[in-house]
A = this chain, B = another copy of it.
Amino acid sequence: MQTKIVLDESRIPTHWYNIIPDMPGPLAPVINPRNLQPVTPDDLLPIFPMAIIEQEVSGERWIPIPEEVREIYRLWRPSPLYRAHRLEQALGTPAKIYYKYEGVSPAGSHKPNTAIPQAWYNRQAGIRRLATETGAGQWGSSLALACSMFGLECTVYMVKVSCTQKPYRKSMMQLWGANVIPSPSEFTNAGRSILAHDPDSNGSLGIAISEAVEDAASRADTNYALGSVLNHVCLHQTIIGQEAREQLALAGDYPDVVIACCGGGSNFAGTAFPFLADRAAGKNVRCLAVEPASCPTLTKGIYAFDYGDTAKMAPIAMMYTLGHDFMPPGIHAGGLRYHGESPLVSQLHHAGLIEAKSYRQTACFEAAHLFARHEGIVPAPESSHAVRAAIDEAVIAKEEGKEKTILFCLSGHGQLDMVAYDAYLSGGLEDVEYPEEMIRESLAKLPKVEL
């Protein structure tokens, strides 16, 4: 039985799919946090190259992928599409379960799909150095890899507590040549002001963002790069869905439902957007974003203008949010702990064009365990949310006695997350309750934007 569909590297997509011209209405403006007015390209030029700024607002449906970027993509793309025969048998489901596996990249996740073009456009613009932040390290390691490929310097402000809790990804960044700085640091005003009040601060993603943006804004040779949320990041990830679509066609199939985990939104966007585009051609595909119950942005947040970061330095966007100072409880899927959501994904959800669902982490680890026992691959804790939802869809198909084709994105492997599996296997995994009160409090602090 065919288990995986591989494509020759000549079939790496030549264009990214830009969903902006196909959105159900105009995009809401992005707001400058300093003057509460719409952001202009000039506001962004200190930290982004013009090519990226153009992609952020482009009305072109297909944006060509530079040949130099496709050259690097060849190191792991096209990624394989698997049919989960063994999982299907274990579930006794009539459903067909396919998964697109992005863990084959050198960094082990989908993040290099956007790190590579971001590094490339910056180098083309004469930038010699990129600054970014990272929590658990998936994004930081991907940008370090990308900078190594194009000979750029890379500085990663890594949340201090993660430096000690996730030393492996820190080492990978260093091996790829990045300068990893525990945040808060003495290198920025933002870092120094935190340390002045709290010399032992463990740091947070919000602080690390502030440090990286300040670093980029204050040096002419340096720009900033972000691993999710923004339109251009979602755009770069659309190679996932495009490849999956072609691979499914080779298998003579088309999905009834497309599933991906959703933190900042780029993994979901990259997987689902190319299928959403098929709706115009009458295809009736459901798209399901899966998030943790402890950080339920789409399922429990509101659609409103909010800051992108805790420190109110990042632009204000119209999006689903739990409030910019919402601090989600600690869960192992660190990549899904963002208070906001990609504005594109948010608008589609608000328009009722996509679905969202949340799960507690134990249910996700149970699903990942079943998956690993039958399919071999150990899923990343983030990806385990998509595994859970896919299994539940397959079980529903069994109960209804219906054939159904399910596609999900296995966005990364979990070989560097075995501490989380240890906690699960030893019964020591805490299932965080939905933090209702916290969300209510943080939602009371949204900015007032009047246009």
Bound-complex Cα distance A1 to B67 (A): 10
1/0 per residue, CB under 8 A from B, across A103-120: the answer is 011101000000000000
Bound-complex Cα distance A82 to B104 (A): 14
Residues of B within 8 A of A174 (CB): 421, 425
Q: In the complex, are the beta carbons of A2 and B6 less than 8 A apart?
A: no
1/0 per residue, CB under 8 A from B, across A268-281: the answer is 00000000000000
Tell yes or no: A121 within 8 A of B by CB: no
Bound-complex Cα distance A7 to B172 (A): 29
CB distance from A415 to the nearest CB of B (A): 6
CB distance from A429 to the nearest CB of B (A): 13
Tell yes or no: A57 within 8 A of B by CB: no
Q: In the complex, are the beta carbons of B6 and A8 less than 8 A apart?
A: yes
User: Known: A373-B148, A377-B106. Contact between A418 and B168, CB under 8 A?
Assistant: yes
Q: In the complex, are the beta carbons of A149 and B376 less than 8 A apart?
A: yes
| Closest partner residue, chain B, to A104 (CB atom) | B104
User: Known: A377-B106, A415-B416, A422-B167. Contact between A176 and B372, CB under 8 A?
Assistant: yes
CB distance from A251 to the nearest CB of B (A): 12
Tell yes or no: A23 within 8 A of B by CB: no
CB distance from A419 to the nearest CB of B (A): 8
Interface size on A, residues (CB 8 A): 44
Residues of B within 8 A of A145 (CB): 376
Bound-complex Cα distance A184 to B124 (A): 59
Bound-complex Cα distance A422 to B419 (A): 19
Q: In the complex, are the beta carbons of B74 and A4 less than 8 A apart?
A: yes
| Closest partner residue, chain B, to A416 (CB atom) | B415
Q: In the complex, are the beta carbons of A369 and B175 less than 8 A apart?
A: yes
User: Known: A9-B3, A167-B418. Contact between A372 and B149, CB under 8 A?
Assistant: no
Bound-complex Cα distance A374 to B149 (A): 6
Residues of B within 8 A of A2 (CB): 9, 74
1/0 per residue, CB under 8 A from B, across A162-197: the answer is 000001100110111100000000000000000000
CB distance from A223 to the nearest CB of B (A): 21
Q: In the complex, are the beta carbons of A6 and B4 less than 8 A apart?
A: no
Tell yes or no: A71 within 8 A of B by CB: yes
User: Known: A8-B6, A74-B4, A75-B4. Contact between A425 and B171, CB under 8 A?
Assistant: yes
Q: In the complex, are the beta carbons of B75 and A376 less than 8 A apart?
A: yes
User: Known: A71-B3, A376-B149. Contact between A175 and B421, CB under 8 A?
Assistant: yes
Q: In the complex, are the beta carbons of A6 and B3 less than 8 A apart?
A: no
Residues of B within 8 A of A372 (CB): 106, 148, 175-176
Tell yes or no: A367 within 8 A of B by CB: no
CB distance from A116 to the nearest CB of B (A): 10
Tell yes or no: A375 within 8 A of B by CB: yes
| Closest partner residue, chain B, to A373 (CB atom) | B148
Q: In the complex, are the beta carbons of B106 and A74 less than 8 A apart?
A: no
Chain A to chain B contacts (Cβ below 8 Å), 26 pairs: A3-B71, A4-B75, A6-B7, A6-B8, A6-B9, A75-B375, A75-B376, A86-B149, A105-B376, A106-B375, A106-B376, A108-B415, A148-B372, A148-B373, A148-B376, A149-B374, A149-B376, A167-B422, A168-B418, A171-B419, A171-B422, A172-B378, A172-B421, A175-B425, A176-B373, A416-B416
With contacts A168-B418, A172-B418 known, what are 20 further pairs, Cβ within 8 A? A3-B9, A3-B74, A3-B75, A4-B9, A6-B6, A6-B9, A75-B376, A105-B376, A106-B376, A106-B378, A108-B415, A145-B376, A167-B418, A167-B419, A168-B415, A171-B418, A171-B419, A174-B425, A175-B378, A415-B416
3 smallest beta-carbon distances between A and B, as pairs: A106-B376, A3-B74, A171-B418
